[in-house]
Amino acid sequence: MSVLDSPIPRFHLAMPVDDLAAARRFYGDVLGLEQGRSADTWVDWNLHGHQFVTHLAPERGQRIHNPVDGHDVPVPHFGLILTIAEFHALAERLRAARVEFVMHPCA
């Protein structure tokens, strides 16, 4: 079953951490979360079907961005995992409500 077919709404949460090795020990070894994709500066975790991502921010209070599909996405951030149709419908509702975006919706 795809995450989009799940009866439970899914989310994506990205958080800064100051030590990826310590994050791997805590989220992987202590909490027992399955590690997904990763790079030198971030690690995806399966948080009971939700996507939790730890992004390296070595200096406390440091503002970081992660390049995604040609965009600099700020960390921390939170998102919903939606179908394309649901995404476009929500983006339209937000535009109609004149919501100010840090990063405009794009698919």
Q: In this structure, which amino acid lies at residue 40?
A: D
Average pLDDT, the chain: 82
Most confident residue range from 22-36, 69-83, 89-103: 22-36
Question: Is 96 among the domain residues?
Answer: no
Question: Is 43 among the domain residues?
Answer: yes
Query: How many other CB atoms sit within 10 Å of the CB of residue 42?
Result: 19
Write the CATH number for 51: 3.10.180.10
Question: Is 86 among the domain residues?
Answer: no
Angle (CA) 83 70 38, round 5°:
75
Question: Is 58 among the domain residues?
Answer: yes
Tokens of 23: 């994050």
Q: What is the DSSP letter of 62?
A: -
Where in the sequence is the domain holding 46, given as residue range(s)?
8-81
Does residue 62 carry a pLDDT above 70?
no
- The model carries a pTM of 0.62
Question: Is 102 among the domain residues?
Answer: no
Q: What is the CA radius of gyration of the chain?
A: 15
Check residue 31 and give its pLDDT.
Answer: 85
Q: Given pLDDT bands bounded at 50, 70 and 90, which one contains residue 37?
A: very high
Question: Is 98 among the domain residues?
Answer: no
Q: How many domains does the chain have?
A: 1
Could you tell me what percent of the chain has a pLDDT over 90? 28
If one compares 22 and 64, the residue with the highest pLDDT of the two is: 22
